[in-house]
Structure 1
Amino acid sequence: MFVKSMIAKQIAKTDTKCRSLLAAACLLLLPCAAFAQTLQPPSSPSAITMQQAVDLARAKNPTLLAAQQNLLSVKAQEIQAGVRANPYFTLYGTNVTLPAEGASNPYSYSGQVSRLFERGQKRRWRLDVARSTTVQTDAQLQLTIQQTVLAVHQAFTNFVIAKAAKKLADDNLADYRHELQISHDRYAAGDIAKLDFERLDLQLAQFETDESNAITAAQQASDQLQVLLGTDKPRTDFDVIGDVVPPPLAFTMEELEQKALAARPDLKAATAAVAVADASVKLAYANGTTDPTLEGEYDRSGTYNSAGFSINIPIRLFDRNQGNKETAKFTAQASRFSVTAAHNQVISDVDQAYSGYFNAKVLSDRYNGHYLDEAKDVLDIAQFSYQHGGLALIDYLDALRESRSVTADALNAYSQTWMAIHQLSFATATEMIP
């Protein structure tokens, strides 16, 4: 009877503890107040937005400045393409030390002016080639700008995510140190064994490592972004402000394909290359025409004056620019195939970028709408249960590791979604961020 009474008391005691744990679990499983928003890192008052970072890069990035100067140098070739052939002036004399009369060979002077006259509208086609080249170079500049903006977007997102990871690491370390202090007090009071406390203390090293790695990643991300913004020496007080959780996009794949076909600078550059090639064909045929040289001459020999003229016309029996004509024609045909290839590449880039965004957004939404809150609930319940003797230490440590892993995976999912948005903006040459 005594044994049965002890068993009944133990069952009642266990049942009471289970009901207490169940009540705590029900309280903790209430919807968390947007736990994902706790990942949003704080920013200084001087922090810049993503658009401000892009504006700074456009104004100060040395690669862009070099590309802009290259465009100006190409445009200057239009001036050279439009110049006409210079005239020539020739003056010579013979026997200038002899008198005008009484000598068998009196002095003589001669002045000549000559000029080459271009035929076949060479100047027109040179200008056409130069202007088309300027258009092509401008499209290439826009592509360089687009690539730089993509790099800025990616570096900006890396910095924001790195700041969020650092904030998370700082918070986790502070919380765990507080938890460790409680465990130390319990160990000092004899409530837990030395082995359990030391295992908890060893776990602190991982939190400290996470914080150290997060600090390094944030510093490196800051430096990488500042380099793109044209900063001579990265500043330690540089800061950005941006959302960790990516926004949804309201475009269909077909809409994005049409935007890309209308705006992609590499497609525009390929189209401009066709215009350059066509003008080069016309110039090659024009260069195959004969250019006469007209010359006027004035002579004075002794006391006699005379004037004359001459016309120099090359006889193009052999060289009629045949090779350059054929080369220009094949180049023009090749440029048309390049436009087709660029068109197909645009469609492929958009489709791949959209697929990457769609899958990344689905995963980030799962973390934002389910897994993050659930991981926090599991950790809170495990912590409460362990502190009240309802959970083994090994299970509590597993809950700690799972919480850290899920939160890190959530940040990675957010980062991948942001990168997919930036890639989609690059593929469509359209700003996708609302």
Structure 2
Amino acid sequence: MVSSQNVLKNPKEESFFENEFFSELKIFPNSYRNGIGTLKSGDHSKFRIFFFGKSENCDIRNLRFKPGRFVNVLFLFGFLGFVFPPSPIYTEVIPLESGAVEEKKKSFNEKKSQGDRTPTGFDEKNSSIFQEEKTQSSQTQTQSQSSQTQTQTQPSQTQTQSQNTTNANPISFTGKIIDWDVEKLTEYAVANNPLYLAEKQNMGIERGKVITASLYKNPVVQFQQQFIGVPGGGPSDPNFLGANRSQGGSMELAPGLYQDLDIYGVVSLRSKVAKKSFEAVWVEFDNFDRLFRLRLRQNYWAYLFLTNLVDYNKEFYENYSDLLELTKFRVEKGDISPLEFERLELERIQVEKFYRDALVRRQFVEKELRILSGIREAEGIFAFKTEMKFKSLEDLGLKLKETAPVNRPDIAALEERVKEKKLNIDLQRREALGYLQVGGEWRIKGNEHYAGVFATIPLPVNDRGQGKVLSAKEEYKKFELALEAKKREVNEEIEASKKELLAREELLAKYERIDLLQKNKQLEQKSRIAYVRGASDQVTFLQAEKNYLIVLRDYYEVLYLYYNAVEIYKAAVGKKTERD
């Protein structure tokens, strides 16, 4: 440990301020040469101090503040600061070397053996990293101990991250695993997806139109000033903006108020039309919600199907690659001809193509699923745990034999549009009649005060809104026909989805009765055993492996189409959630 006493002494054990350098200092004026004085305190103790401008015989009680000397000292330090400007000190992070760590361990162990409890060393048993490993390996600790250990490991994790940042900048992915079912994913999408929320804003826009349609016209305030004097009005002197008798007498002030009155009920009818339009927009958004959920659910089941397809193709591709390596070894030994090896190599290229195609198809479906769900790749990785298993329509709560109630929002939206267009015909007739304008004026001219009222109304002689009325009638007929066409379309859509769903269910029920997957697995295992025992050749074994993969792919494809048909039927009858 370096003390301050050793610093203030030279190698000759003399005081630092009593060496030859300070005693022979010539660069200061005479009044500042004896800058090392002895200060005497009240208890007769002496201590030396470097003080400019004081002689050696200096008593601490006789010290006086002298402005001139203080200014000189301040000027001196300012000059030195200008010559040697201060510069910031930049800290350098030096990575800890292994040798330094070992020296720290040794020094800490020595201090610990001597009874030193200073926590400046590195104790492997007490370190947070060791506690974290001990917590992970132990399975019988309580929850409170594990939480305490995690609290202790936070500083060590911060230090480790800072060291990694200093040495390198690895790209790390911290997204969470998303293993939700289709219901949870749908609820998240309708609550957070900007695409869905943007469509929802249409209702707010239409609500503003309803408010605008229910407002009356504002009153108009008018002010007139007449009989203002101008030059050249007579033999008298001109008077600007003042009284001049040659111009008609005194000035006249005429404030007035006008108001348009709705005597034909235009505002009330226009408000009804706007409300019907708002109801139509509301139901149209409900229809958008139905289609949005349908697309999201379809892509969800497609992603599950393609994930299974990728897994099976990958397994088959890896097995084929291992078999190819084994065949290559047997070719080198002379057991198999090189022609057989080349045939297997070409077949492996085709197997790899199936595997890569499945990856690409899943990537496209994942893109659509992320767009619909609103979950970016940086926010989470899709790893759905939903198992694709066959469930009958009765288990799913669908009874196709009974007539299901149809609640199609697109039909309801067209019905609201038809009502709106019918009201719009009468609205166009009334708007062509115009408004009754009434008003009043108060005139002041000198000492005269008088009032007046008036009323104006347009006469529908030429323009009675014939063109707008005709357009409104044709638009009403158009929406009537569109409604009738939509009803027929929905009926056919429901019948088609019902037939498809029954056909898919019948096929899958047959697969379940014969236990297709189990039989396929047993045949695949038997073919492998036969090939290992030498009872079959390589061509038969590979054909059995292909058949096993084809059966799996066809089964899961039919299962995916079945769940896709379920979602189509639900959307056709207007069911959006499981509760419906």
TM-score bucket (shorter structure): 0.7 to 0.9
Matched, 1:72 2:218: no
Matched, 1:278 2:422: yes
- Selected match of 1:259 from 390, 405, 408: 405
Would the aligned equivalents of 2:390 and 2:559 in 1 still touch at CA under 8 Å?
A: yes
Would the aligned equivalents of 2:433 and 2:464 in 1 still touch at CA under 8 Å?
A: yes
SS in 2 for 1:311: strand
Equivalent position amino acid for 1:259 in 2: P
Higher helix share: 1
SS in 1 for 2:180: coil
Would the aligned equivalents of 1:247 and 1:433 in 2 still touch at CA under 8 Å?
A: no
Q: TM-score, normalised by structure 2?
A: 0.61
Equivalent position amino acid for 1:147 in 2: L
Moved more, 193-202 or 89-98: 193-202
Task: Mark the CA change 1:111 to 1:133 in structure 2 (over 3 Å): closer, same or farther.
Answer: same
Would the aligned equivalents of 2:181 and 2:384 in 1 still touch at CA under 8 Å?
A: yes
- Selected match of 1:90 from 222, 226, 230: 222
Matched, 1:397 2:529: no
Structure 2 unaligned runs (5+)? 1-175, 230-238
List per-residue Cα deviations over 1:340-366 (Å, max 9, x = no partner): 222222111111111222223333444
Deviation at 1:433, TM superposition (A): 5.9
Match of 1:20 in 2: none
Match of 1:155 in 2: 299
Deviation at 1:139, TM superposition (A): 0.8
Match of 1:105 in 2: 248
Structure 1 unaligned runs (5+)? 1-43
Match of 1:229 in 2: 373
Deviation at 1:418, TM superposition (A): 1.8
Would the aligned equivalents of 1:284 and 1:321 in 2 still touch at CA under 8 Å?
A: yes
Moved more, 127-136 or 331-340: 331-340
Equivalent position amino acid for 1:315 in 2: L
Which has the higher Rg, Structure 1 or Structure 2?
2
Would the aligned equivalents of 1:259 and 1:430 in 2 still touch at CA under 8 Å?
A: no
**How many Å separate the matches in 2 of 1:386 and 1:347?**
56
Q: Which structure's relative contact order is higher, taking Cα pairs within 8 Å and 6+ residues apart?
A: 1
Deviation at 1:182, TM superposition (A): 6.3
Map 1:319-330 → 2, pairs under 5 A? 319-330=463-474
Match of 1:406 in 2: 551
Would the aligned equivalents of 1:164 and 1:244 in 2 still touch at CA under 8 Å?
A: no
Match of 1:341 in 2: 485
Matched, 1:57 2:189: yes
Equivalent position amino acid for 2:385 in 1: I
Would the aligned equivalents of 2:260 and 2:437 in 1 still touch at CA under 8 Å?
A: yes
* Aligned-CA RMSD value: 2.9
Would the aligned equivalents of 1:100 and 1:303 in 2 still touch at CA under 8 Å?
A: no
Deviation at 1:178, TM superposition (A): 5.5
Q: TM-score, normalised by structure 1?
A: 0.79
SS in 2 for 1:353: helix
Matched, 1:380 2:525: yes
List per-residue Cα deviations over 1:389-409 (Å, max 9, x = no partner): 333433333222222222222
The percentage of aligned residue pairs carrying the same residue is 19
List per-residue Cα deviations over 1:269-289 (Å, max 9, x = no partner): 011112211221231232244
Deviation at 1:162, TM superposition (A): 1.6
Task: Mark the CA change 1:383 to 1:186 in structure 2 (over 3 Å): closer, same or farther.
Answer: farther
Would the aligned equivalents of 2:209 and 2:274 in 1 still touch at CA under 8 Å?
A: yes
Would the aligned equivalents of 2:393 and 2:505 in 1 still touch at CA under 8 Å?
A: no
Match of 1:425 in 2: 570
List per-residue Cα deviations over 1:141-200 (Å, max 9, x = no partner): 111111111111111112111211122123334444565566667767776555555544
Match of 1:47 in 2: 179
Moved more, 82-91 or 380-389: 380-389
Equivalent position amino acid for 2:268 in 1: R
**How many Å separate the matches in 2 of 1:67 and 1:432?**
20
